[in-house]
Amino acid sequence: MAPGFLIVARQEFLNHLTSRRFVVTFLVVLVLSLVALAQGVGDYQEWLVGYQQQTRFLESSNFSFGGPVSVEKPSGLILFRRMGTLFPLAGFIVAIAMGFDAVTREREERSLVSLLSHPVFRDSVINGKILGSFGALALVVGSVALLSVGLMGIFGVPVGPEEGGRIAFFLGVSLLYLAVFFSIALFTSALSKNSGMSLLYCLLIVFLLSFVTPVARDLAVSRLLGPSPAVSVAPGLGEAALNESLARLQEYAQRVQGVERLLGLISPQQNYERAQNFILDPTAQESTGAFTTGPLSLGQSLGFVGPEVALLALFPIVLFVLSYIAFMRMDIR
């Protein structure tokens, strides 16, 4: 016989699949993803036409341009860059809709008391809910992946091993991003007396993390680092003085970038945006003054976003633990 938490997980997963709320939000995710992917296909085809024209021009040109000239080949990653702008919003709605009443609904319907009257441990209930809901989120991301692969096959968009690895990491990071918001919703549900208050607390936390935090970060940067140093371009200014002024400006920009990144790590939205930017764009690099020529490998790109991906994974783990503790201490009478 399967362990108690697996039985609860299976039931929770099936409850999501038969829930009208989940079905509607799931369809919204698929529609928005389809729109984004269709736009990405259009971008890819335009890029392909431009690439072919430039290649023909270079092949027929008599100029050497001082050496060999290469043109960036079209990449199927452009489809997912488009999807990265719409999917987070739609996925965020699904995650919150799944979690904000995961516990409070059971309390309001008195089904939690009935469930715990059976030979099922309390920790099996919360663990099963987490596992079953995570499976439903994985279904959402997996469906989007199948949809994207199907469109790429229909329109003949090739994907190499390197691009396939980047797409897989992007989908994995997207699943972590959804898990963040589900864990927030589950946590507020475990703490709240009813579903209405749970949703209110959940939206408040999301608002603080997604909108207030970036504003506070920008204010903190301006207070900590002060105004940008001025660059003098007065007539007669020596080359050494000008280079020194530009070096100070570059150093200030790097400090701003570092502080903004550090303070922004608390925002799941910023972590996700930065991660998907580096994962889906092999040419993206930090403005540190030392650049690598040509596209980066997947490993090099991941090196730029290690802290962001780690925090996207750590955030739901911490909230799941807090939800577990709150649920175990809950008075269900």
Note the pLDDT tens digit of each residue in 209-264: 888 887 777 777 777 766 666 665 555 555 666 666 666 666 767 776 777 777 77
More confident residue, 211 or 63: 211
pLDDT at 1 over 50: no
pLDDT grade for 83, boundaries at 50, 70 and 90: confident
pLDDT computed for residue 230 by the predictor: 62
CA distance 140 to 135: 9
Q: What angle do CA 47, 49, 52 make, to 5 degrees?
A: 105
pLDDT computed for residue 187 by the predictor: 93
Q: Is 183:99 a contact under the CB 8 Å cutoff? A: yes
User: Number of structural domains, the chain?
Assistant: 1
CA distance 6 to 279: 34
Position 311 in a domain: yes
In angstroms, how far is CA 298 from the centroid of its own chain?
A: 17
User: Which of these, 39, 19, 43, lies nearest to 31 by C-alpha position?
Assistant: 39
The residue count of the chain comes to 333
Q: What angle do CA 142, 146, 147 make, to 5 degrees?
A: 115
CA distance 73 to 238: 43
User: Which of these, 91, 319, 286, lies nearest to 205 by C-alpha position?
Assistant: 319
CA distance 162 to 167: 9
**Percent of the chain having pLDDT more than 70?**
77
pLDDT computed for residue 118 by the predictor: 59
* Each residue's pLDDT tens digit, 161-203: 888 889 899 999 999 999 999 999 999 998 888 888 999 999 9
pLDDT at 291 over 50: no
* DSSP code string of 96-107: HHHHTTTTHHHH
H/E element, 114: helix 111-116
Residue type, 281: D
pLDDT computed for residue 290 by the predictor: 47
pLDDT computed for residue 102 by the predictor: 84
- Find the mean pLDDT for residues 110-121: 61
In angstroms, how far is CA 39 from the centroid of its own chain?
A: 20
CA distance 266 to 286: 20
Q: Is 305:274 a contact under the CB 8 Å cutoff? A: yes
CA distance 191 to 326: 6
Q: Is 75:114 a contact under the CB 8 Å cutoff? A: no
CA distance 232 to 241: 9
pLDDT computed for residue 228 by the predictor: 66
DSSP annotation of 289: S
What range does the domain containing 159 cover?
A: 4-62+70-328
pLDDT at 13 over 80: yes
pLDDT computed for residue 289 by the predictor: 46
Position 147 in a domain: yes
- Find the mean pLDDT for residues 1-22: 81
pLDDT at 88 over 90: no
Position 159 in a domain: yes
pLDDT computed for residue 241 by the predictor: 61
Position 333 in a domain: no
